[in-house]
Chain A
Amino acid sequence: MLDVVRQAVEAAGAAGADYADARVVREETESLTVRNQEMEGIDRASSEGIGIRVLVAGYWGFAATARMDEGEIARTAALAVAIARAASRLPREPVSLTPVEPATGRWDSPMQEDPFTVPLEEKVALLMEATRRMQLVKGLAFAEGSIDLFRRRSWFASSEGAAIEQTTVQSGAGIEATAIGDGEMQRRSFPNSFRGHIAAAGWEHVRALGLGEEAERTATEAVELLTATECPSERTTLVLDSGQVALQIHESIGHPVELDRVLGMEEAYAGSSLLSPEDRGRLRYASDLVSITADATLAGGLGTFGWDDEGVPAQRVPIIVDGIFHGFLSSRETAGAIDQTSSGAMRADGWQNRPLIRMTNVSIEPREGTLADIVGDTKDGIFMATNQSWSIDDRRVNFQFGCEIAWRIKDGRLTEMYRNPNYTGITTEFWRSCDAVGGRESWTLWGTPNCGKGQPGQVARVGHGAAPARFRDVQVGVR
């Protein structure tokens, strides 16, 4: 396939491109959903094609096709050039790319057991058993289990001489219990909501999740939530589990630090950012306990790779250091605006889309202690676990999150259970109020496989390492 992408780059050059890169991407997915001992869905899908990106006189063009014969590739390359020429209808500062050493090589995400070779019978049996155990709990309406597998192979070449081949395999699974009654519907999930815990790993990751072992507790909590007290409305101390901290990072740090948003390139759709380039090294984003790092080299992350989709090597980049905003996620195009080189964050959804700045593994650095230590150190407050919903404004300032479950913390102990918990805040005020972050032993590298951005819409698979954390004076129970 490297021959094919090189051929596309040559065709783009012949059509008039000053710079060109091409990616062939082959993706395979397998997805299973069991519900109440019935197969709700089982499907496999594959997709393959080529995307060609060009610069002509400083203007971008991109075209993609699923047909990869020689004539179609030449036609698509010429179309990309025509699109770039059309873009010059509205004059702008010509795009210039910050330098990168043209990379050649191959990278494969590590795994022990190829999940696509595991027999379907074993996968179905695992979900049947986990859901059977959930259904033993009286009062449960739905016991659901899911497995999602993903493999992406890509071949990249550029007119600068890059030639890269990469393979990523990701596996995940989860269970979800739903209880319904008297105008209420309550859910509990394990290990996380929205189809569980997905990692760049093989079947060994799914085996190690322990879905069956946690089935009864998950179902019991869902049923208990039906009759639990509504989460009170108050300002209080809030402790979040690591899964919710991961999504809090995603929405209120990960997206605002994308440099394309800061420069207005996403203004019309997902919005812009609370940040400006001048905030680097100056803005107190969070308390001094909070350090955030974007690390595309972390083993097991959905945002882990060898090179990004413009051939920039994977990097570990400080985003927030001891509470002070430090740096952006950037691309070869945008990094020049802040006199930097690319942070290696350009990734595309499949072959059909041009790369955009996407989160890699944007994680909070662990401090110390466990969730139990943080709760034990809290006199009065509320502990919330497992994300249920999210919403944030177009500059990532005002947010509101809902969680599946909460408990009152009294004198260092979890007491009364609350249903329908949510909390709201202002991004920097919230992060500045953080006064506890768990240690390495409570830190988990979560996967977020459904991050939407761009037009046409793209979905990225990103990672977030997170530990439980505590925040002071937070508004909870919004109604």
Chain B
Amino acid sequence: MPGAFGPDEVRRVAEPALELGGVDGVEVLLMHEWGGLTRFASSAIHQSTWREDTAVRVRVVSGGRIGVSATNEFSPEGARRAAESAREMVQVVAPDPLFPGLAPPRPVPERDGFDEATASTTPQARAEGVAALVAQCAPGFEAAGAFETLATEIAVANTEGQFCWAPSTQASLTTVVTGGEGGSGFAEVFAGRIAEVDPEAVGRRAAEKARASQNPRDLDAGRYPVVLEPSAVATPVGFLAWIGFGGKTVLEGRSCFSGKEGRQVAAPSISIYDNATSPLTLGIPFDFEGVPRSRVDLIERGVFRGPVHDLRSAKQAGTQSTGHALPPPNPEGPFPLNLFLSPGDATLEEMIASTDRGLLVTRFHYSNVVHPVESTITGMTRDGTFLIERGEVRYPVKNLRFTQSILEALTNTTMIGRDTELASEFFFSASRVPALKVEAFNFTGRSDH
């Protein structure tokens, strides 16, 4: 198994690019990733993989003109060639009047995000984990899913003198259990260390959900109160990252938060923030242009406080970067990768008990934007949707389509779970979120399973 190159080797690779002549500045983003994924279906391992890849991405600046070139040749020669290619581009493009300069030298917070046991997990160990998960399935049920262990090191070096380097690891296990008379169950865990992944617990949870969701019945679409489990809450929160929380999006009037700074946009119980340095998420302590990441309170007690920024959007807004740049050139602007929705004080059981007639949703599937400025998205329920009547879960129902404004849902939220989970979304990075009870959620169609 390979290991991290380490900061000295990374500096050595970046050096020829940083020494490129005839330009005003150079930034080198270096990435190294290695790990394995054991994929299973029908309770057997069917697609196991392992890979190691590198990337050297060089941004060259001259007179406000910017060029970017990348290679996966992780060597001083590769970095030099990428820098020369980027320099060729700056000779033909127009200057960016909003170019803010490269990141100045600043210390980056320490974050102990690397676990050697995770980085060196063997395929045999992942296979044992999958076997433990599969063993939780009752006869007639099967598990599918993926068990991944991944290590990365990321570094940014620039000609202003900024240098930052961080290694990190992550382990994730997701599964869907199917079988019996229709219905399915889902469970997942995301962690920085493989020791925090309990395959039996993940398998047990999905298997119980699959058993509970047998013989789903038809239910008419319409507005229902909903109890959203954390995996379902990750969808609206993830979409807000995309269509709402970026500084560029807000400044350009494309966000559901444009012009709403300081205004109530959600229930007073709702607070959402981004914090890559928290031990409760999987983050690196600096962004992809080398700015230290800081905690940003996005919605505080229901009031929109402001977006995240990279250096460019910060200059445009007359403020400081919050450390949320994506890799260049990034026309989309800054993006929060480590969102949190603050917990409340309710249990899932209390939310269900407080519901006269509504739905319990395990998670959503393949959602997409309907109207970004109104924060409206559509998607399907999946892997366990249940009717609640008179405070009790009555029976499973077939999957439903929703078409719903996220901010309207957050405004109609009356209960928030006291426990949080790091939950994934189909398209976005994982968010740490609790369960929510929303008093009105708009279901607009249904499926046959």
Contacts and interface: CB of A to CB of B under 8 A. Distances in A.
* Chain A interface size, under 10 / 10 to 19 / 20 to 34 / 35 or more: 35 or more
A70 interface: no
A90 B134 contact: yes
B254 A185 contact: yes
A64 B373 CA distance: 42
B52 A66 contact: yes
A294 B379 CA distance: 28
A97 interface: no
Interface stretch (B87-95, B224-232, B302-310): B87-95
Contacts of A267: 41, 144, 176, 178
A260 to B, nearest CB: 9
Contact of A121 (B92, B178, B330): B92
B218 interface: no
A37 interface: yes
Contacts of A141: 252-253
A456 B373 CA distance: 32
Given A268-B41, A391-B380, 20 more contacts: A42-B68, A44-B69, A63-B49, A64-B50, A66-B53, A82-B123, A119-B92, A184-B373, A185-B254, A264-B144, A264-B178, A267-B176, A352-B51, A354-B47, A392-B380, A393-B449, A397-B448, A398-B448, A402-B370, A426-B448
A84 interface: yes
B429 interface: no
Of the listed residues A42, A91, A185, the one surrounded by the most CB atoms of chain B closer than 10 A to its CB is A42
Nearest to B383: A394
B263 interface: no
Interface stretch (A2-10, A15-23, A54-62): A54-62
Of the listed residues A63, A83, A265, A454, the one surrounded by the most CB atoms of chain B closer than 10 A to its CB is A83
A291 to B, nearest CB: 25
A398 B445 contact: yes
B329 to A, nearest CB: 3
A400 interface: yes
B129 to A, nearest CB: 10
B39 interface: yes
Contacts of A51: 51
A86 B144 CA distance: 17
Nearest 7 pairs between A and B by C-beta?
Answer: A41-B329, A92-B44, A43-B68, A86-B123, A87-B45, A268-B144, A89-B127
A48 B78 CA distance: 12
Interface of B: 36-54, 57, 65-74, 85-86, 88-89, 92-94, 96-97, 122-124, 126-128, 130-131, 134, 142, 144-146, 148, 174-176, 178, 252-254, 328-331, 365-374, 378-380, 382, 399, 401, 403, 444-449
A264 B42 contact: yes
Contact of A33 (B92, B329, B367): B329
A264 B261 CA distance: 47
Contacts of B403: 400, 478-479
B68 A455 contact: no
Contacts of A107: none
B379 to A, nearest CB: 6
Contacts of A270: 366
Of the listed residues A39, A59, A268, the one surrounded by the most CB atoms of chain B closer than 10 A to its CB is A268
Nearest to B254: A185
B48 A87 contact: yes
Given A89-B127, A391-B378, A41 B330 contact: yes
A395 B41 CA distance: 16
Interface in A322-379: 352-354
